Amino acid sequence: MSTGGKAVVDDGKTPAGFGTAAEYMKVMGNVCANEPEFLLPGTPITEAVFRLLLANSNKAMTLAEIQSGLTDAWASVIYLKNLTDEVLSRMLEQENDYFIRRAPTRRRRRSTKS
């Protein structure tokens, strides 16, 4: 967590800060995501996707949105990492330390109006 994020969670009373993982994720998404070093080009892809999801309020993103977000964040890099659908799909299908996985697709209900 960034220095700015730590300042928000350190209430001075509780040794480890304040609370639940959801609260920390909210701080990382709202405070840390605005700092320039939040998503550096050297960040491994899985961690970068995790950070991108935090910055997106932990809401599901399409592969195209993930690719666009990482490409924008790493625009200054001469040799961009491989962010193809195949690479990102493989990352989503494998177990990882961040518990990132493909979001289930919801089927639309058919209208029963006659």
Domain ranges of the chain: 3-93
Q: Does residue 36 carry a pLDDT above 70?
A: yes
d(CA 72, CA 56): 14
Query: For the segment 61-105, what is each residue's pLDDT rounded down to a tens digit?
Result: 999 999 999 999 998 888 889 999 999 999 989 998 988 888 887
* pTM given for the model: 0.73
Is there a contact between 32 and 5 (Cβ–Cβ < 8 Å)? yes
